[in-house]
Amino acid sequence: MDKLLYVAMSGAKETLATQEANNYNLANVSTTGFKAALSAFQTRSVTGPGFASRAYATAGSVGFNDTAGEQQTTGNPLDVAIQGSGFIAVQDSAGNEAYTRAGDLHVDASGQLVTAGGRPVLADSGPIAVPPANSVSIGADGTVSVIGLGQTANSIASVGRIKLVNPPVSSLARGGDGLYRTADGSPAEADANVQLAAGVLESSNVNISACLVNMIELSRRFELQIKALHTADENGQASAKLLQSGATG
Relative orientation angle of helices 2-27 and 208-248, to the nearest 10 degrees: 160
Range 53-65 average pLDDT: 73
DSSP H/E element including 14? helix 2-27
Instruction: Give residue-wise pLDDT tens across range 3-16.
Output: 677 677 777 888 88
Query: What local confidence, expressed as pLDDT, does residue 1 receive?
Result: 47
Range 149-172 average pLDDT: 90
DSSP H/E element including 225? helix 208-248
Residue pair 55/46 in contact (Cβ under 8 Å)? The answer is: yes
- At CA 113, angle to CA 110 and CA 116, rounded to 5? 100
pLDDT band at 243 (very low <50, low <70, confident <90, very high): confident
The helix/strand/coil state of 61 is strand
How many angstroms separate the Cα of 109 from the Cα of each of 32, 42, 113, 134?
22, 49, 10, 15
Residue pair 159/129 in contact (Cβ under 8 Å)? The answer is: yes
**Partners of 72 in the beta sheet?**
201
The helix/strand/coil state of 123 is strand
DSSP H/E element including 85? none
Query: What local confidence, expressed as pLDDT, does residue 187 receive?
Result: 94
Residue pair 179/34 in contact (Cβ under 8 Å)? The answer is: no
Instruction: Give residue-wise pLDDT tens across range 78-136.
Output: 999 999 999 999 999 999 999 999 999 999 999 999 999 999 999 988 999 999 999 99
Q: What is the CA radius of gyration of the chain?
A: 26
Query: What local confidence, expressed as pLDDT, does residue 79 receive?
Result: 97
Query: What local confidence, expressed as pLDDT, does residue 181 receive?
Result: 96
Query: What local confidence, expressed as pLDDT, does residue 46 receive?
Result: 66
**Partners of 19 in the beta sheet?**
none
- At CA 162, angle to CA 116 and CA 119, rounded to 5? 30
The C-alpha atoms of residue 178 and residue 88 are separated, in whole angstroms, by: 13
Query: What are the residue ranges of helices labelled H in 35-86?
Result: none
